[in-house]
Amino acid sequence: MKKIIQFLLCASLLILIITGCTTKDKKVTSIQNNITVESQSLLNGQSSNVKNESVEANTEEKINQPVLAIEAKILLKSGDSGKEVIELQKKLYCIGYTIRVDGSFGNETSEILKTFQNTKNIISTGNYDTKTEEELKAMKATRTYNPPQTTVIKPSGEAPTGFTSIPDIKTSPGEAQQVIVILASSYGTINAALKTYEKVNGLWQLTCSGSAVTGINGFSDNRHEGDLTSPTGKYGIPFLFGIANNPGVKLTYKKVQVGDYWVSNKIISEYNVWMHYEGTDAKARLYDYESLWENPLYKYAAVIDFNYGASKVLGKGSGIFLHIAPYKGGGTLGCIGISETNLVKTLKWLDPAKKPVIIMGVKGKI
């Protein structure tokens, strides 16, 4: 019996030892597994952090990279001409700028573009570029462009058409068969209309029409030196002149040279005349004058026979011309300004054999 009890005790002890080892192994295995999982999690976390840091670094690098400025492409510039320039000038006119629509990209168009670019915080270059084009397209027209109409004389052989007398004026053209008419609506305005007429088969034909500007103070029936008005009346055209070469005119044309002045001296013989003087004391010698070669508006011009010649009066006024209208708008110092296109056309049209005259003043008064 004693031996049986000892056997049972030994068996029980053996079972306990075996059970304890198994449990211990399981705990070790569990701990190892936990360590493995935590290690993997740690590694995964580090990998994730590395990835996040990489993304953040790339993002920061992209943010800190300099943005390259995109230069505006020049579409039109000074010296260009043609239909594209005409469309640009029309757009500028329609949004409120005073500009001649003649298809020539000159100083006037460039200066107006600079003004527009300044209002839009664009670099003021005076060129028409893609940025300026974008801003102009967004602008709404405030007025409609109505180009001046030109009547073309019909070829001989067709039934004559025209006017028995020149419309809107009371002054007789006399023997003249070519007449330039400059008419303003009132005495106070600088704005006037240009119309030219030629007598064909006994009838007056309209040959050209457009806009014109007068002196800063408009027309005056009693013009005198320095009052900034244009004289009213009918006048001849003694000769033409210009800084540019002769454009192909029939009247006498004088090319301006350095040293050519239009003088308003106190001496009657040197009042309201063209003089060439090469001295260095022009002010002392000529008293009052214009340096003809320095005024771009005199690229082409016609002398108006106001207070000119033997019957001139000191102080009545001098240097009254038909020339290019001021590029920046506004009136003249007393001359008549028209577009360069209409001026060249008119000067080439004038024929001394047809005794041309200019009649200018206020509608209903002249």
Determine the Cα–Cα distance for residues 85 and 27; give it in Å rounded to an integer.
92
Determine the Cα–Cα distance for residues 220 and 117; give it in Å rounded to an integer.
38
Determine the Cα–Cα distance for residues 267 and 230; give it in Å rounded to an integer.
23
Distances (CA, A) of 159 to 200, 203, 204, 274, 296: 11, 11, 14, 45, 43
Determine the Cα–Cα distance for residues 203 and 142; give it in Å rounded to an integer.
40
pTM of the model: 0.58
Q: What is the pLDDT of residue 100?
A: 84
Q: Identify the sign of the CA torsion 173, 175, 179, 182.
A: negative
Q: What is the pLDDT of residue 182?
A: 98
Q: Identify the sign of the CA torsion 123, 96, 94, 212.
A: negative
Determine the Cα–Cα distance for residues 119 and 232; give it in Å rounded to an integer.
40
Mean pLDDT by 10 residues, the chain (366 residues): 59 54 44 44 45 48 47 89 90 90 88 93 92 92 73 51 91 96 96 96 94 97 95 97 96 97 94 94 92 97 95 95 94 96 97 97 96
Contact 230, 335 (CB under 8 A): yes
Determine the Cα–Cα distance for residues 234 and 304; give it in Å rounded to an integer.
9
Q: What is the pLDDT of residue 70?
A: 59
Q: What homologous superfamily is domain 74-138 in, according to CATH? A: PGBD-like superfamily/PGBD (1.10.101.10)
Residue 288: which residues within 8 A CB-CB, separation 6 or more?
Answer: 263, 264, 265
> What is the Cα 141 distance to its own chain's centre?
16
Q: How many CB atoms lie within 10 A of CB 294?
A: 10
For residue 129, what are the β-bridge partners? 74
> What is the Cα 140 distance to its own chain's centre?
17
Determine the Cα–Cα distance for residues 117 and 121; give it in Å rounded to an integer.
6
Q: What is the pLDDT of residue 12?
A: 59
Q: What is the pLDDT of residue 103?
A: 86
Name the residue among 359, 335, 356 with its Cα closest to residue 346. Answer: 356
Determine the Cα–Cα distance for residues 55 and 314; give it in Å rounded to an integer.
88
Contact 346, 180 (CB under 8 A): yes
Would you list the domain boundaries of the chain? 74-138, 178-362
